[in-house]
A and B are shown apart, each in its own frame.
Chain A
Amino acid sequence: MIRLLKIELKKLINNKTFWILLGLYAIILALVFWSIQTFVNDIVKETGKTVPIPVTKISLYTFPDIWHNLTFISGYLKLILAIVVIIFITNEYSYRTLRQNIITGLSRLDFLLSKLLMVSVIALGATLFLYLNGLVLGILNTTELTFSLVFQKNIFLFAYFLELFAFMTLAMMIGMFVKRSGLAIGILLLYYYIIEPFLSYKLPYDIGDYLPLQAVANLIDVPNTSMMKIVGLNFREYISVSDTLVTIAYTCLFSYFMFLILRKRDL
């Protein structure tokens, strides 16, 4: 296993595109993390001017809610990571190195495993990045700091990892199916922005919740804020077990499809 990971890392470490995209992800995410508070404050100020009800200042960065807040927001940026995955999978087709790897002695299962390992490393890295940013922001912004507060609601971090892993697996499957990076990215975006929202609108509510992207997005629902509570909205503050299971099921399904694709096709 380690050997497979080593091989994958070697392929990617020297790839400029890989680092540029990851760097972009990190920079944008960090900017969002650190500035979202001011953004929300501005909204509150504006609403405060027009609404007679006193709206309390919302702090996003206090433990333990910060974990929920940050993971929710980062969910929007998982597309960048998905694009990275698509690129490194379609490269193996366009350079014909997948074929060469198999000839050299890698089995098709090994190839799939090494790619999945790489995806988990990326998801892990992103989660770690979020954790570190969260720690700092939380420490700076929580008035009564206790250890238990820091580690409460850490379950959101696991959900975040799962969300990223599942989404990247979907992207990888599309990439493997289509073999060309432009087309794969196009299909992913199309599905993400148009097809699934449309499907979930058309299907009865219960079934719509089980569509892949919905399940993944539902892992981490919109975090509650006091403002929303006033209006009467109450989103989930916990991670639902059924969503988790559905996400895991989809991940396994996508992986199985990829295995079938690899086995059946001529390279």
Chain B
Amino acid sequence: MSEVILSIENLSKHYGRIKAVDQLSLEITKGSIYGILGPNGSGKTTLLGIVLDVINPKSGTFKWFGELPNKNERKRIGAILETPNFYPYLSAVKNLQIIADIKGVPYDEIKRVLETVELTSRKNSTFRTFSLGMKQRLAIAAALLGNPEVLILDEPTNGLDPQGIAEIRNIILAIAKKGITIILASHLLDEVQKICTHFTVLKQGKKLYSGKVDEILNESVLLEISGPDLDTINKALNEFDKVLNVEKEGDLLIVKLADNSTSSELNNFLATKNVAVSHLALRKKSLEKYFLELLAESND
């Protein structure tokens, strides 16, 4: 049983009548890359703000590393919340020095983290001259100071171009390899799917679903089949008892197989029937589809 890094119990935060966080409970284990998903306004940032002690909860408790929150536990965490906040008139290095002082970390760390995010060439430029991508990267660098055991990233790819997003993704994966627990809040399902091991879906402050990314992705594997004669293929497919469902999608037939069957089995079957197939591929169910289904369900 993995060590629990963060445990949250029935956390609530109300702004007047709006329930930003509504009786939320969850547990994050060490070494996982945990995604907190939800549409805008679902309470992701508020939740992170509460566990980082900048927003006061209305009710509920949370524990970091099994202890009640205090500033010393926070030093083991590196976090970015919403936008990167630094002193605009100070250079990157000076800003990082202030953070190093607060965390009680020696200055040699600064060189290392700047290299990790590739900002060494701009270390003496003032923060206000940075582009958005550089600001995000400096924020990650700041979060990495002191070798935190947990990294909290709130929409780290916000406002970045595709190249920026890919860079951040690689940095995160490299960090995760070192065994650092990462908590990622995002509404970019694609990114979460590529990076995270576990995830939670929030909507209007409530937890809709919590689980492993793998489970969702493996849950139903679909096959894409295409060939010169779709109708023949369709007929043949319906004769295979392991086929659960066939749907037509443009040029493709989407086939849902029973769990105890494989695509090669299907291929063999079709071959015995002399049915030609030009395209046979696995289609992994995407998190996006699942997410949208989940949200749609909760609307009813």
A contacts, CB < 8 Å to B: 3, 6-7, 10-11, 14-16, 91, 95-97, 99-107, 110, 264-267
Which partner residue on chain B sits nearest A110 by CB separation?
B71
Contacts of A11 in B (CB 8 A): 87, 90, 98
Some 5 contacts from A to B, beta carbons below 8 A apart, are A96-B85, A99-B85, A102-B52, A105-B71, A106-B102
Q: Does B79 contact A (CB under 8 A)?
A: yes
Q: Does B49 contact A (CB under 8 A)?
A: yes
CB distance from A125 to the nearest CB of B (A): 21
Q: In the complex, A216→B54 CA distance in Å?
A: 35
Q: In the complex, A102→B102 CA distance in Å?
A: 9
Which partner residue on chain B sits nearest A7 by CB separation?
B101
B97 and A95 form a contact (CB under 8 A) = no
A14 and B97 form a contact (CB under 8 A) = no
Residue-by-residue, is B31-54 near A (CB-CB < 8 Å gives 1, otherwise 0)?
A: 000000000000000000100111
Query: Secondary structure of the B side of the interface?
Result: loop
Contacts of A95 in B (CB 8 A): 85-88
Contacts A99-B54, A103-B79, A266-B49 given; indicate if A15 touches B89 (C-beta within 8 A): yes
B85 and A10 form a contact (CB under 8 A) = no
Contacts of B74 in A (CB 8 A): 103-105
B55 and A267 form a contact (CB under 8 A) = yes
Q: In the complex, A101→B54 CA distance in Å?
A: 10
Q: Which of B81, B90, B101 contacts A103 (CB 8 A)?
A: B81
CB distance from B183 to the nearest CB of A (A): 13
Q: In the complex, A24→B83 CA distance in Å?
A: 35
Contacts of B53 in A (CB 8 A): 102-103
Which partner residue on chain A sits nearest B145 by CB separation?
A104
19 more contacts with CB within 8 A, not counting A14-B90, A104-B74, A264-B56, are A3-B104, A10-B94, A10-B98, A11-B98, A16-B89, A95-B88, A97-B86, A100-B86, A102-B54, A103-B74, A103-B81, A104-B103, A105-B74, A105-B102, A105-B104, A107-B70, A107-B71, A265-B56, A266-B54
Instruction: Give the interface residue-count category, chain B.
Output: 20 to 34
B contacts, CB < 8 Å to A: 49, 52-56, 70-72, 74-75, 79, 81, 83, 85-90, 94, 97-99, 101-104, 142
Contacts of B81 in A (CB 8 A): 99, 103
A6 and B85 form a contact (CB under 8 A) = no
B89 and A104 form a contact (CB under 8 A) = no
CB distance from B26 to the nearest CB of A (A): 20
B71 and A266 form a contact (CB under 8 A) = no
Contacts of B102 in A (CB 8 A): 7, 101, 104-106
Q: In the complex, A6→B101 CA distance in Å?
A: 8
Contacts of A103 in B (CB 8 A): 52-54, 74, 79, 81
Contacts of B97 in A (CB 8 A): 10
Contacts of B49 in A (CB 8 A): 266
CB distance from B195 to the nearest CB of A (A): 22
B75 and A105 form a contact (CB under 8 A) = yes
Which partner residue on chain A sits nearest B142 by CB separation?
A104
A104 and B99 form a contact (CB under 8 A) = yes
Which partner residue on chain B sits nearest A3 by CB separation?
B101
Q: In the complex, A3→B72 CA distance in Å?
A: 16
Q: In the complex, A39→B54 CA distance in Å?
A: 54
Q: In the complex, A105→B55 CA distance in Å?
A: 15
Which partner residue on chain B sits nearest A107 by CB separation?
B71
The 6 closest A-B pairs by CB, nearest first: A105-B75, A100-B85, A96-B85, A107-B71, A267-B54, A266-B55
Contacts of B88 in A (CB 8 A): 95
Which partner residue on chain A sits nearest B53 by CB separation?
A102
Contacts of A97 in B (CB 8 A): 85-87
Q: In the complex, A149→B71 CA distance in Å?
A: 51
Q: Which of A14, A16, A99 contacts B94 (CB 8 A)?
A: A14
Q: In the complex, A6→B52 CA distance in Å?
A: 24
CB distance from B70 to the nearest CB of A (A): 8
Contacts of A266 in B (CB 8 A): 49, 54-56
Q: In the complex, A103→B85 CA distance in Å?
A: 11
CB distance from A90 to the nearest CB of B (A): 13
